[in-house]
Amino acid sequence: MEFSVTLPGWAQDEIQKLPHLETIEDRMRAVIRFSQLNIEHDTGGPFAAGVFEEESGKLISMGVNRVVPMSCSSAHAEVVALSLAQKSLKSFDLGSVDMPEHQLVVNWRPCAMCYGATVWSGIRALVIAGSDGQLEEITGFDEGPIHPKWKEELIARGISIQDDVLKDEACEVFRLFRDSGKLVYNGRQG
């Protein structure tokens, strides 16, 4: 018995084309592009996430939302990216002392589930496009109950946080998703 979540075929091809991603903006731009391609190919929701070596910018894994096609409510982009990175590095802890520091780049603030997944992954840095109410206003996705001091709690656990990176570009993709009329897959349609 097992379950698995796979990336769509187009994502595997796109990852091969990615150059070395030097700056935070380069990394976020690639993540936002993946979120848009995921809508255009109809392979999941408007979310993508990448795990990078923080210092070098080397891409370890890219994840996209696969909830609807995989019939799996936990197949959020962050969980997919973190899990693929852990598989690839053969370690449940992306913060092991014997490896370079890893950074998770996401096109919005993690939801309640992905916040926990981020903390347990061992990641050292989180970079997000935004964290205010815009995503929920534009799309209707429920991000769940988040601790009011979620940023401080990350920092207390040694995870740095950088917010508002290419926010307008990220929101543009959320508007595309809204206008596409695709399913907003909240549990119990909440």
What is the contact surface with Zn ion in residues (CB under 5 A)? 76, 111, 113-114
Return all residues near 134 (Cβ < 8 A) that are at least 6 apart.
167, 171, 174
Helix 24-40 × helix 9-17 angle, to 10°: 150
Instruction: Quote the least distance from Cβ 80 to Zn ion, whole Å.
Output: 10
Instruction: Quote the least distance from Cβ 56 to Zn ion, whole Å.
Output: 27
74 vs 120: CA distance, rounded Å: 15
- Provide the residue type at 104 as one letter: L
Nearer to Zn ion among residue 66 and residue 76 (C-beta): 76
Nearer to Zn ion among residue 70 and residue 113 (C-beta): 113
Instruction: Quote the least distance from Cβ 63 to Zn ion, whole Å.
Output: 11
Nearer to Zn ion among residue 27 and residue 76 (C-beta): 76
Nearer to Zn ion among residue 51 and residue 111 (C-beta): 111
- Nearest Cα to Cα of residue 186 among 67, 95, 87: 67
Ranges of H-type helices in 61-133: 67-70, 77-89, 112-121
Instruction: Quote the least distance from Cβ 129 to Zn ion, whole Å.
Output: 14
